[in-house]
């Protein structure tokens, strides 16, 4: 009969290796008696071999591991990735007792405003750390560290650690830091791991009922209280089904944390059993509904992604139409889409000039105590003034007006 030690001692593996793998590593941890052994092969061993060994010891110490055999095959991974992979291997081996190790912290940006610019949000697959480090350099309004559809079910646990470490250690610049969690209950584990690292916003997938938003809200509040987190953490529910679209307004108003509604068109069209097209006529109703519900709740409406990264003209046309419908931004899956999206959601120079004139006329009327605003021979109605004020303030945020 096997002893207890033999029964519990399973090997834990995490990460990837191979000549096509970049900025990642493979880790194997084998719990066993006796002194700690670290076996390292690294593409950058000549330059960082000692450094990696030292880090591995620190990580294991932080996880409370003092014996066993750790094998690392490193393909040039950065320290925040190395830490996450070792931790994943140790946890998968049933060791570590839920302790964590965090890399050196990056400077944190100011917390994000509820109504900040959200024209572009760049999806980063949570299992692909090589895309994290430079994501902020492409100046999307936000990055999304994705734990949901882009991550294989078997990699959810390890990706959670990568995303947590990235939130802690990667400098994303002025970009808003978003995380897309999994559906509950799996999403609870995501929240446990990432909320202490204070992402600016959490995307909740496949929302159909306001209850789903409330459950996430409560979990975040619990963790905030426990961790003493003061800065706001916003929510963006993703509506991806016919039912979700029907309940859009109730979802939008389920929690004060909700700052925007968005829509997932791949799942939505699948739910309807229709084909998604390049121009999107088939989803007009759902998208209008999202815009209207979001506006009724005083929130931003954010569009889906455009999936053909080679088709910039299609993207531009989509973005311009989307803006005309009332959306304020959309998702993107490649950095090359970012400038096109920003341009297509920007008001035209003519619109800006007209709006500036209206705002000037409004201010002038106010100063002179006039009840009616007029521009030339035309009287300007209050809603027109209101729209102009909004347009100018957005154009200012985009840097289009000094």
Residues in touch with another protein (CB under 8 A): 22-23, 43-44, 46-51, 55, 75-79, 133-134, 137-138, 334-336
Question: Which of 130, 295 has the CB closer to another protein?
Answer: 130
Nearer to another protein, 22 or 357 (CB): 22
Instruction: Pick between residue 76 and residue 109 the one whose CB is nearest to another protein.
Output: 76
End-to-end CA distance of the chain: 78
Token pair for 206? 């496949």
CB-wise, 44 or 360, nearer to another protein? 44
Q: Which is nearer to another protein, 43 or 116 (CB)?
A: 43
Antiparallel, parallel or unpaired: β 176-180 and 201-204: parallel
Structure token digits, residue 188? 């609870």
**Hey, how many other C-beta atoms are within 10 angstroms of the C-beta on 109?**
15
Q: Residue 228 corresponds to which tokens in the numbers above? A: 């003493």
Q: Per the omega criterion (within 30 degrees of 0), is the bond before 364 cis?
A: no
Question: At its nearest, how many Å lie between another protein and the CB of residue 402?
Answer: 14
Closest distance to another protein from the beta carbon of 108 (Å): 15
Q: Give the residue with the Cβ less far from another protein, 79 or 94.
A: 79
Count of beta carbons in the 10 Å neighbourhood of residue 376? 8
Q: Report the DSSP pairing between strands 373-375 and 378-380.
A: antiparallel
Q: Return phi, psi of residue 20, to 5°.
A: -90, -5
Instruction: For residue 94, count CB atoms less than 10 angstroms from its CB and return exposed for 0-12, middle for 13-18, buried for 19 or more.
Output: middle
Q: Lay out the sheet containing 25-30: strands in order across.
A: 12-15, 25-30, 69-74, 37-42
Quote the CA–CA distance of 234 and 199 in Å, as a whole number. Answer: 9
* Shortest Å, Cβ 197 to another protein: 18
* Distance (Å, whole) CA 178 – CA 237: 12
| Residue with Cβ nearer another protein (68 or 103) | 103
Least Cβ distance, residue 29 to another protein (angstroms): 21
To the nearest whole angstrom, how small is the minimum distance from the Cβ of residue 136 to another protein? 10
Shortest Cβ 55–another protein spacing (Å): 7
Shortest Cβ distance from residue 88 to another protein (Å)? 19
Parallel, antiparallel or unpaired: strands 260-263 and 25-30:
unpaired
């Amino acid at each position: 009969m096997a002893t207890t030690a033999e029964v519990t001692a399973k090997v834990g593996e995490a990460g990837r290796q191979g000549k096509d793998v970049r900025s990642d590593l493979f880790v194997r941890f084998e719990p066993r008696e006796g002194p700690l052994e670290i076996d390292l092969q690294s593409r950058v061993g000549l330059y960082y071999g000692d450094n990696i060994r030292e880090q591995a010891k620190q990580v294991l110490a932080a996880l409370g591991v003092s014996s066993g055999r750790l094998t690392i095959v490193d393909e040039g991974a950065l320290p925040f990735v190395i830490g996450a992979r070792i931790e994943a291997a140790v946890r998968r081996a049933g060791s570590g007792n839920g302790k964590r190790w965090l890399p050196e912290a990056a400077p944190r940006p100011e917390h994000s405003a509820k109504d900040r610019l959200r024209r572009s949000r760049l999806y980063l697959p949570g299992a692909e750390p090589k895309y994290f480090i430079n994501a902020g350099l492409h100046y999307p309004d936000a990055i999304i560290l994705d734990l949901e559809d882009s991550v294989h079910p078997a990699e959810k646990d390890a990706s959670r650690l990568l995303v947590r470490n990235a939130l802690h250690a990667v400098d994303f610049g002025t970009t808003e830091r978003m995380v897309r969690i999994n559906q509950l209950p799996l999403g609870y584990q995501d929240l446990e791991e990432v909320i202490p690292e204070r992402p600016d916003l959490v995307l909740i997938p496949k929302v159909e009922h306001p209850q789903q938003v409330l459950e996430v809200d409560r979990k975040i509040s619990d963790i905030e209280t426990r961790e003493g987190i003061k800065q706001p953490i916003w929510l963006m529910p993703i509506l991806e089904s016919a039912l979700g679209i029907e309940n859009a307004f109730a979802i939008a108003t389920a929690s004060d944390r909700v700052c925007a509604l968005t829509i997932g068109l791949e799942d939505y069209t699948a739910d309807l059993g229709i084909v998604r097209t390049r121009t999107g006529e088939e989803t007009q109703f759902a998208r209008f509904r999202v815009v209207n519900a979001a506006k009724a709740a005083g929130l931003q409406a954010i569009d889906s992604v455009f999936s053909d990264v080679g088709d910039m003209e299609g993207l531009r046309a989509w973005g311009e139409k989307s803006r005309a419908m009332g959306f304020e931004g959309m998702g993107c899956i490649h950095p090359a889409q970012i400038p096109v999206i920003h341009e297509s959601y920007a008001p035209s120079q003519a619109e800006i000039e007209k709006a500036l004139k209206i705002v000037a006329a409004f201010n002038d009327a106010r100063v002179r105590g006039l009840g009616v605003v007029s521009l030339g021979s035309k009287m300007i109605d209050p809603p027109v003034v209101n729209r102009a004020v909004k347009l100018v303030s957005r154009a200012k945020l985009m840097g289009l007006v000094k």
